A and B are shown apart, each in its own frame.
Chain A
C-alpha cells in the first residue's frame, strides 16, 4: 500500500464491518502534520481487543489468522514521527458505542507516502455501503472539501446512493471542490 488513501479505505472498512450506520472520515493537513480520523457508531471493541490491535497475530477475521490493517497503519505513522490512537466503547458497555481511530503522520517526513486518490476512495465506500451515512471532510490550509451522505439522501429521497449517475455526480462534485481549493 503506497498511498495513504488505501489505509483510509482499509480503516474505514473496519467501521463498515463493525455494523456502523454513521461513519465520519476526516483528513486535516496543518503545519507539519496530516491527521486522519475515522469515527463510527459500530459495535465497538472491548478494552482487551483494543490493547491487542497492534499485534498482527490478533484479528477479528475468521478466514485467516493474521490482521495487518492497524499494524501497518501504526508502522507508517510511527516511521513519519506520528502515531495511531484508538478509543472504543463496546456495545455491551454503553448504548453510545463505537470506535475512533486517529492517525497522525509527519507530512514532510522522507518516509511519508502520497495521499493518493481520496475521491475514488470515498466513491468506493459509498458504492459498497450506500445505506451508511458517510461524512467526508478534508481540511487543508486552503479550505475544506466535504460531503455528507445524509444531505445527499435528503435531496435524492428514494434513489440509492450507489446508482451510477449518483456516484458519478459525487465524484464530479468532490473534484470541483478540490479544484476550487487548488485555484484559490
Chain B
C-alpha cells in the first residue's frame, strides 16, 4: 500500500510529503537513538516523539512516513523541516498498538 492508501485506511491525517510512496513495513519506537538504527527505508514509523530530532532521524533513515500517534502536538518547525527534507508526516489520535492492528487488517484487505 502507498502512504496515501494507508492514511485513508487508518484514518491518518497526512500533513506533508509524498503520498505515493510504497510502505515496506512498520517500526514503532520513541527512543530516537535506537530508532536511528531500527527505522528502515520505506517503512511506516510510528512514534510519539514529535520533535525536530525525529525529523533528523528520518532524514538519516528514510522511512516512507512518520506517524505521530496519540494526538501529540506537532510544532510548525517540525513540519517546515520535514517539507525541506521531503519527509512525509501523518498524525493520528490512535495509539501505536491500534495503528499496527489497523495497518495489519488493511494489508489483508488489500491483498
Residues of A within 8 A of B (CB): 1-2, 6, 55-57, 64-66, 68, 71-72, 75
Contact = CB atoms under 8 A, between A and B. Distances in A.
Contacts of A55: 52
A79 to B, nearest CB: 10
B56 A64 contact: no
A57 B59 contact: yes
A68 B57 contact: yes
A2 B32 CA distance: 10
B33 interface: yes
B111 to A, nearest CB: 36
B81 interface: yes
29 contacts: A1-B33, A1-B34, A2-B31, A2-B33, A2-B34, A6-B33, A55-B52, A56-B53, A56-B55, A56-B56, A57-B52, A57-B59, A57-B81, A57-B85, A66-B56, A66-B57, A66-B59, A66-B60, A68-B33, A68-B36, A68-B53, A68-B56, A68-B57, A71-B52, A71-B53, A71-B56, A72-B32, A72-B33, A75-B53
Interface string B35-53: 0100000000000000111
A55 B80 CA distance: 13
Contacts, number: 37
Interface of B: 31-34, 36, 51-53, 55-57, 59-60, 81, 85
B97 to A, nearest CB: 21
A123 B31 CA distance: 27
B33 A56 contact: no
B32 A65 contact: no
Given A1-B34, A66-B56, A72-B33, 12 more contacts: A2-B31, A2-B33, A57-B52, A57-B56, A68-B56, A68-B57, A71-B53, A71-B56, A72-B32, A75-B32, A75-B51, A75-B53
A55 B53 CA distance: 8
A56 B31 contact: no
Contacts of B55: 56
Nearest to B85: A57
